């Protein structure tokens, strides 16, 4: 790290003057010889494919249906980078059969199993899509391919010795289809089956064999329901009737330790483990689904083959225009019509459309984001994208999907390149609900938020952590980021906001009073404790170890994702931090790190990484506020940042970070530009990034200003020819 230890640092005026001169010269050189870069041809990501199919044929594809491999990420953490994506076939046959409503679909075709997380408590209302007065279970979004009878099977949660939980008292399970009750069951009956044995309950009574059989096998053996369902996307709700006397939204005190394993097993709440849905049985027709309404924009009258072919051409030309993101040619439609003819010979008009749709969904023009070099362009020369290519880049950037009709029409008219028209389209798209994809895909990858789903805090230390809390942590950060984008706030408010989004469970975790129920709502917070992203439990948890906090992980995260100054990787031979163990004095995290930094190979990097991490030590490994550390001593958060700024509290740290406002905005802009163009940012991109940030300053670094700056930039609107 510079300057080397013991060497003088230039004063601020000399430092800033040199940096300004250097950036000016680099910007001048970049303007004289623009280099927009050359993202490779790549296929859609899984998320983009799902969104594209939804936009095209109004069908929600479960990502588990896809044969795409897990999307790799680049060194900046983004799966949109063309350099790391690979190609794999999609389940086009399944999608096309579901969209058309293939009458040959049999009972096992859409058999699906939906499971609840093992550590998810089911003591409260589990979803806004389940009725008030319910608890636990799940709201399942299931696609029924045909009108017909379907079978639903419920399996209850088991614990020690594979015994079903909560069978000491009765519980009522309700099954609903789009909110309407279609069936119910009652489970648990201690009076009928007698007492549990000592093996399944911590008592001294021998117990009854009938109980053993019931709690092991019989309780959920016949939880099977057959019900009629119309074709299309439906919400299947499976939940318990909440028999508590407390009103909805008041959380129960949870059992732990012996009480949970003993009393909780017998008298506690039964829970849903998984739900299986199979069918259709005795199908009666394809129904009137959103997909069929989107697909069949015309119908041939009678059996006239010529009329059917004309209608098929009209349908396929409309689909191909949207799917290929450009005007279609006669050759495009002829290719699809050959598949239509094959399907028509087997199963008539709808069979022909299904077969052609199957071909379209695996067409390279659909799966790949193709940008072609102009004819006779000099090797390595920079050129401007066509309006259609620009429309495609824009829709995948803001919506993670294909252009809608309006954007495609403007591009076909050759007007998208006009600055005023382009700005109107960007603002329209940012206001569209589809812009939530920008948060879900960019922001979650930039902040590494997806990793929260894989963290596993030590249950012996953090017994209050469960799947409910994990999901609430992720939901808070997602809703916060969506509000920032929707309300067009300044980027610096990501660190200073005096509000967040919470439900009762998360508010209790934070110590925020007056929040009741499972519904998330905007709540004010103490900006000194919970202000902005640095107070979010999601980010604090994923930058900790399972059993303790990590100033190193947190400091590195801040340097990389907030300040844009990622530290180098540690040398291979550096020993790990010595942990606290039994039989010795428990040391504070600062004392442990002081021992580690005694190694000269570690000291230089830790001098920069550790202070931003230590100042966050008031948050434990699952993001709760604390005043004492593992050693029982008051938390010591004081330290000096790399520039010498003294910080003592998280509130002071947030304030100190604002002195780096330009660096923070540059970091976010660089990551957003890399996500938008699908390649890793290079030194040649820095002049563009500086210009975007400089022009956005007058508008308070609002999201719209940064996004518009990116969309109007040379790397976004241009491309380098192959060299």
We report the CATH number of the domain holding residue 172 as 2.60.120.260
Q: Mind listing the pLDDT tens digit for each residue in 515-538?
A: 988 889 999 999 999 999 999 999
pLDDT of residue 30: 65
Query: Does residue 329 lie in a domain region?
Result: yes
Kindly state whether residues 438 and 423 are assigned to the same domain. no
Query: Does residue 612 lie in a domain region?
Result: no
Question: What percentage of residues in the chain have a pLDDT greater than 90?
Answer: 53
Kindly state whether residues 86 and 13 are assigned to the same domain. no
pLDDT of residue 722: 84
Kindly state whether residues 344 and 366 are assigned to the same domain. yes
Q: Mind listing the pLDDT tens digit for each residue in 234-249?
A: 999 999 999 876 665 5
Is residue 78 scored above 60 in pLDDT?
Answer: no
Average pLDDT over residues 260-278: 78
Nearest-CA neighbor of 568 among 602, 611, 523? Answer: 602
Kindly state whether residues 140 and 191 are assigned to the same domain. yes
Question: Hey, which bits of 398-502 come out as E strands?
Answer: 499-502
The whole-angstrom separation of Cα 402 and Cα 400 is: 7
Query: In which band, very low, low, confident or very high, does the pLDDT at 16 lie, cut at 50, 70 and 90?
Result: confident
Question: What percentage of residues in the chain have a pLDDT greater than 70?
Answer: 83
- The whole-model pTM stands at 0.85
Does residue 608 or residue 362 have the better pLDDT? Answer: 362
Nearest-CA neighbor of 649 among 635, 662, 661? Answer: 635
Kindly state whether residues 84 and 18 are assigned to the same domain. no
25 contacts: CB under 8 Å, gap ≥ 6: none
Yes or no: say if 456 and 618 are a contact pair by the CB < 8 Å rule: no
The whole-angstrom separation of Cα 102 and Cα 104 is: 5
- Give the domain-ending residue among 370, 392, 413: 370
Q: What is the domain range of residue 271?
A: 112-285
Mean pLDDT of the chain: 85
pLDDT of residue 671: 94
Is residue 330 scored above 90 in pLDDT?
Answer: yes
Kindly state whether residues 180 and 148 are assigned to the same domain. yes
Does residue 198 or residue 412 have the better pLDDT? Answer: 412
Most confident residue range from 35-49, 375-389, 415-429: 415-429
Is residue 298 scored above 80 in pLDDT?
Answer: yes
479 contacts: CB under 8 Å, gap ≥ 6: 501, 520
The whole-angstrom separation of Cα 478 and Cα 484 is: 10
Query: Does residue 245 lie in a domain region?
Result: yes
Is residue 666 scored above 60 in pLDDT?
Answer: yes
Query: In which band, very low, low, confident or very high, does the pLDDT at 167 lie, cut at 50, 70 and 90?
Result: confident
Kindly state whether residues 269 and 132 are assigned to the same domain. yes
Is residue 401 scored above 90 in pLDDT?
Answer: yes
Query: Distance of CA 308 to CAs 221, 248, 291, 356, Å?
Result: 50, 56, 20, 14
Kindly state whether residues 440 and 392 are assigned to the same domain. no
Q: How many CB atoms lie within 10 A of CB 306?
A: 8
Yes or no: say if 558 and 612 are a contact pair by the CB < 8 Å rule: yes
Is residue 598 scored above 70 in pLDDT?
Answer: no
Yes or no: say if 225 and 183 are a contact pair by the CB < 8 Å rule: yes
Query: Does residue 626 lie in a domain region?
Result: no
Q: Mind listing the pLDDT tens digit for each residue in 538-597?
A: 999 999 999 999 998 999 999 999 998 887 776 665 555 555 555 445 556 666 656 555
What's 97's domain CATH number? Answer: 1.10.3130
Is residue 190 scored above 70 in pLDDT?
Answer: no
pLDDT of residue 684: 85
Query: Does residue 642 lie in a domain region?
Result: no
Average pLDDT over residues 614-631: 91
pLDDT of residue 261: 43
Kindly state whether residues 228 and 130 are assigned to the same domain. yes
Q: Mind listing the pLDDT tens digit for each residue in 681-695?
A: 888 889 999 999 999
pLDDT of residue 578: 58
pLDDT of residue 382: 86
Kindly state whether residues 280 and 167 are assigned to the same domain. yes
Comparing 500-504, 642-646, 718-722, the range with the smallest average pLDDT is 642-646
Kindly state whether residues 437 and 538 are assigned to the same domain. yes
- Give the domain-ending residue among 517, 547, 577: 547
Kindly state whether residues 277 and 133 are assigned to the same domain. yes
pLDDT of residue 80: 55
Query: Does residue 321 lie in a domain region?
Result: yes
Query: Does residue 342 lie in a domain region?
Result: yes
Give the number of domains in the chain: 4
Nearest-CA neighbor of 53 among 357, 303, 284? Answer: 357
pLDDT of residue 592: 62
pLDDT of residue 82: 46
- Give the domain-ending residue among 285, 317, 342: 285
Query: Does residue 596 lie in a domain region?
Result: no
Is residue 87 scored above 50 in pLDDT?
Answer: no
Is residue 111 scored above 90 in pLDDT?
Answer: no
Nearest-CA neighbor of 187 among 169, 209, 213? Answer: 169
């Amino acid at each position: 790290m510079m300057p080397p230890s013991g060497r003088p640092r230039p004063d601020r005026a000399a430092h800033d003057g040199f940096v300004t001169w250097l950036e000016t010269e680099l910007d001048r050189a970049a303007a004289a010889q623009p280099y927009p870069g050359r993202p490779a041809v790549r296929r859609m990501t899984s998320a983009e494919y799902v969104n594209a199919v939804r936009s095209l044929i109004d069908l929600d594809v479960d990502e588990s249906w896809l044969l795409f491999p897990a999307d790799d990420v680049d060194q900046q953490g983004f799966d949109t980078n063309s350099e790391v994506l690979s190609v794999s076939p999609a389940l086009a046959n399944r999608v096309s059969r579901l969209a058309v409503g293939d009458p040959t679909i049999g009972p096992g075709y859409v058999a699906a199993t939906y499971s609840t997380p093992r550590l998810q408590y089911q003591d409260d209302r589990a979803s806004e899509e389940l009725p008030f007065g319910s608890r636990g279970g799940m709201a399942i979004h299931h696609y029924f391919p045909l009108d017909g009878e379907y079978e639903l099977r419920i399996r209850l949660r088991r614990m020690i010795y594979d015994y079903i939980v909560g069978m000491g008292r009765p519980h009522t399970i309700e099954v609903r289809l789009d909110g309407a009750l279609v069936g119910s069951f009652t489970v648990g009956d201690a009076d009928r089956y007698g007492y549990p044995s000592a093996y399944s309950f911590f008592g001294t009574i021998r117990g009854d064999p009938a109980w053993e059989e019931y709690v092991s096998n019989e309780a959920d053996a016949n939880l099977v329901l057959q019900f009629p369902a119309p074709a299309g996307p439906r919400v299947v709700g499976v939940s318990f009737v909440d028999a508590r006397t407390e009103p909805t939204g008041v959380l129960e005190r949870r059992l732990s330790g012996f009480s949970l394993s003993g009393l909780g097993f017998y008298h506690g709440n039964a829970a849903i483990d998984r739900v299986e849905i199979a069918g259709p049985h005795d199908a009666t027709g394809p129904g009137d689904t959103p997909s069929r309404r989107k697909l069949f924009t015309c119908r041939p009258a009678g059996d006239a083959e010529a009329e059917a072919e004309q209608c098929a051409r009209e349908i396929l030309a409309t689909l191909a225009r949207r799917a290929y993101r450009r005007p279609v040619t006669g050759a495009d439609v002829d290719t699809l019509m050959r598949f239509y003819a094959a399907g028509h010979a087997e199963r008539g008009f709808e069979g022909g459309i299904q077969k052609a749709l199957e071909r379209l969904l695996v067409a390279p023009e659909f799966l790949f984001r193709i940008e072609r070099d102009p004819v006779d362009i000099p090797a390595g020369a920079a050129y401007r994208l066509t309006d259609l290519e620009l429309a495609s880049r824009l829709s995948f950037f803001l919506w993670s999907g294909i252009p809608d009709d309006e954007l495609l029409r403007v591009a076909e008219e050759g007007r998208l390149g006009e600055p005023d028209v382009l700005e109107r389209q960007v603002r329209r798209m940012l206001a569209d609900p589809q812009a939530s994809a920008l948060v879900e895909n960019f922001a979650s990858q930039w902040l590494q938020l997806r990793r929260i789903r894989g963290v596993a805090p030590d249950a012996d230390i953090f017994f209050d952590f469960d799947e409910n809390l994990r999901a609430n942590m992720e939901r808070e950060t997602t809703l916060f980021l969506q509000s920032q984008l929707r309300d067009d706030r300044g980027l610096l408010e990501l660190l200073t906001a005096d509000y967040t989004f919470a439900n009762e469970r998360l508010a209790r975790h934070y110590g925020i009073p007056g929040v009741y129920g499972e519904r998330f709502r905007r709540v004010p917070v103490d900006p000194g404790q919970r202000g902005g992203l640095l107070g979010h439990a999601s980010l604090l948890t994923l930058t900790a170890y399972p059993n303790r906090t990590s100033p190193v992980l947190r400091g590195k995260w801040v340097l990389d994702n907030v300040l844009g100054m990622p530290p180098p990787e540690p040398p291979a031979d550096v020993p790990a931090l010595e942990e606290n163990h039994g039989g010795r004095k428990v040391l504070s995290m600062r004392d442990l790190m002081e021992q580690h930094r005694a190694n000269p190979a570690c000291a230089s990097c830790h001098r920069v990484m550790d202070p931003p991490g230590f100042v966050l030590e008031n948050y434990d490994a699952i993001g709760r506020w604390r005043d004492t550390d593992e050693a029982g001593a008051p938390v010591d958060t004081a330290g000096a940042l790399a520039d010498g700024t003294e910080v003592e509290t998280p509130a002071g740290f947030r304030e100190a970070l604002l002195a780096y406002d330009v660096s923070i905005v540059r970091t976010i802009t660089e990551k957003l530009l890399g996500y938008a163009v699908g390649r890793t940012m290079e030194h040649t991109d820095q002049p563009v990034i500086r210009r975007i940030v400089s022009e956005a300053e007058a508008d308070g670094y609002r999201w719209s200003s940064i996004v518009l700056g990116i969309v109007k930039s040379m790397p976004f609107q241009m491309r380098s020819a192959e060299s």
